[in-house]
Amino acid sequence: MAKLMIEDLDVKGQRVLMRVDFNVPQNDDGTVRDDTRIRAALKSIQYVRDNGGMLILMSHLGRPKNPDKAESEEEKAKIIKANQKLRMDFVADKLRELVGGNVTKVDAIVGPEVKQAVDAMKPGDIILLENTRFHAGETKNDEALSKELASLVDVYVSDAFGSVHRAHASTEGVTRFVGKSAAGYLVAKEMEYFSKVLQSPDRPLTAVLGGAKVSDKITVIDNLLNLVDTLIIGGGMAYTFMKAQGYEIGDSLLDEGGIEVARKAMEKAKERGIELLLPEDTVVADAFDATAHTKVAGLGQIEPGWQGLDIGPKTLEKFMAAIAQSKMVVWNGPVGVFEMEPFAKGTRAIAELLANSPGITSVIGGGDTAAAVTQYGLAGRMSHVSTGGGASLEMLEGKVLPGLAALSDK
């Protein structure tokens, strides 16, 4: 069922509660180090302002601890100090800079102070509420908190894809008590691309999976084997697949619990006629360090004391050929330790191939994969770079995400 979109709402004179993802990287002093997530919400923010709405924004920031649960006064003081950095004041400063002022930060999530500020709003005004996770009811999806948030506004907009896989008061609970709930531009774009991958992909469809643990991606591997034409396995999880085939992997990362999963995945791929591509050679190092000695090792030739940290040249050639003949590629997880230059070649080459292939629809999962393509300055040349690591993974697992399911149907 299609969901209500922000443009379906008549926001003129309406109080709009918008859940955004302002969980931004911060400097040591709390100032915003990277404003990408704030910028990602600007289109939805501007829509409400341009159309005469009054906008109340809310987001979490980090993982604040509860000082009341401290075991000593010293620990309590440390928690209070750490939580100060997680207040939304620095985010409000950055938002004012980006939208040209007119942003009021309120030091609460609900309560008399918030109600007073909302009652005084005029069309075009923006209020930013305090960090939602400062309220114990947020992560518990507390009904009383959800009702109080809903009582402040006329409509709700979800534009925090990075949080829609969590059933919290600000992402799911509040929708039960407002008249209409719609997807903002950011969430709508995420839904569009992931729906295409899952329901009507351009073929051949190739998935590239990397990351460390096979057991973390059991469901996504299983679901993708029902969807894709080719599945490419790289990154740390590839060594568990090698071990499952009986090859020696030296000191490479091994997920013991994932060996049986890898075996079953290889069997399923064979049964379904899906091409499952695994590394044939590996760039190995004698330490997990950018200055370590490195060499290329063939399949089963990784010696004790050495560990695989990137795909080798033959593997890269094989992976690139499969990607090049695809019409759609979904990529979740780097194929090497891209943070260290000697082990970044595979990840960078795949990113560059996708960036230079306008005929391929490229859907980049959030988290480390998004960080890699951004680091290489290639994010703008991908069809879609997801803003939610956990949410994009759950979408690929075929799960129903509570924050999306809760939105009003068209």
Residues annotated as catalytic are 37, 213, 367, 390
Least Cα distance to 344 among 267, 189, 268, 234 occurs for 234
Residue type, 126: I
Taking each continuous run of H as one helix and of E as one strand, the counts in the chain are 15, 15
Tokens 């102070």: give the residue: 113
Between CA 87 and CA 144 the distance in angstroms is 23
Contacts 24+ apart (CB under 8 A), 100-106: 102/126, 103/127, 103/128, 104/128, 105/130, 106/130
135 contacts 160 by C-beta, under 8 angstroms: no
Q: Residue 34: how many CB atoms within 10 A of its CB? A: 12
φ, ψ of residue 302 in degrees (nearest 5): -80, 120
CA angle (402 as vertex; 401, 404 as ends), nearest 5 = 70
404 contacts 162 by C-beta, under 8 angstroms: no
